Amino acid sequence: MISAYLFDLDGVLVDTAEYHFKAWRRLANELGFDFTEHQNEQLKGISRMESLERILTWGNVTLTDAGKLDWATRKNGWYLEYVSRMKPADVLPGVREFLDACRAKGIKIALGSASKNARLILKNTDLLRYFDAVIDGNKTTRSKPDPEVFLLGAQELGVPPAECLVFEDAVAGIEAAHRGGMKAVGVGAPEVLMEADLIISGFKDEHLAKLHSL
Ligand code: B16
Ligand code: MG
């Protein structure tokens, strides 16, 4: 029996990946190199500092720890310029209706995101009120595919992991759910998310009807 849904944020409820890409690209450009949208795929679901490490490797740039913190803070400032302009209309299609339906059925709802800006994004898009628990990058110490973020979510909801269903757009997030003993719905491309128990292209998808089979 599934009694709780745990949602990733970026790529599932909102599309902030594009803002992350623009801000990271600006950082790379200011450091004298560039990277592609294809490379950016590898940053999805990955924490801010881990993302920076990967980007610096791509550009063959070495920084001190203080330098890394400084550039990560700058990137976050650029990212926040986009996020601060987000509105309720920026929620991905079908998400609000799906969350309304979850609430009506009495399903508990938690967020499980790597982002330290998750609360601000939920507030600006008027999604915060749907969540019984918000687990974000400020509450976790280990990145997905470690299951910490989802196990904390289950704990805050007071629901055993076996009764939780995770919605994720990142491969690392699907693995995190499974390692936590939870089933996972992949939101996105089947060729990327083949480890998921069910794959949907979004919340307007006819596959949503198959959720009850999980
Ligand atoms: P921040 P998610 C992740 O969000 C993003 O996919 C990833 O690109 C980003 O680096 C990470 O959050 C940290 O975000 O810099 O805002 O703390 O998919 O876990 O909701
Ligand atoms: Mg994501």
pLDDT in tens, 166-183: 999 999 999 999 999 999
Taking CA atoms only, the protein residue closest to ligand 1 atom 12 is 115
| Res 207: pLDDT | 76
Q: Which domain holds residue 200?
A: 4-14+90-212
Q: Is the pTM of this model over 0.85?
A: yes
**103 and 8 share one domain:** yes
Polymer length of the chain: 214
Asked whether 47 lines ligand 1 (CB < 6 A), one says: yes
- Output the domain CATH number for residue 23: 1.10.150.240
Taking CA atoms only, the protein residue closest to ligand 1 atom 15 is 48
Domain count, the chain: 2
Asked whether 23 lines ligand 1 (CB < 6 A), one says: no
> In a 10 Å sphere around its CB, with 0-12 CB exposed, 13-18 middle and 19+ buried, how is residue 92 labelled?
middle
**166 and 96 share one domain:** yes
| Res 211: pLDDT | 83
Do 107 and 131 form a contact (C-beta atoms < 8 A)? no
**Other CB atoms within 10 Å distance of the CB of residue 181:** 15
**56 and 161 share one domain:** no
Q: Write down which residue in 31, 55, 83 finishes a domain.
A: 83
Per the prediction, the chain carries an average pLDDT of 95
**98 and 204 share one domain:** yes
**153 and 172 share one domain:** yes
Residues 19-71 have pLDDT tens digits of 999 999 999 999 999 999 999 988 988 999 999 999 999 999 999 999 999 99
Asked whether 48 lines ligand 1 (CB < 6 A), one says: yes
**106 and 152 share one domain:** yes
First vs last C-alpha separation in the chain: 8
**102 and 121 share one domain:** yes
**Ligand 2 centroid from CA 10, angstroms:** 4
**Ligand 2 centroid from CA 170, angstroms:** 5
**52 and 143 share one domain:** no
Do 184 and 172 form a contact (C-beta atoms < 8 A)? no
Do 150 and 116 form a contact (C-beta atoms < 8 A)? no
| Res 209: pLDDT | 78
- Could you give the residue numbers annotated as active site? 8, 10
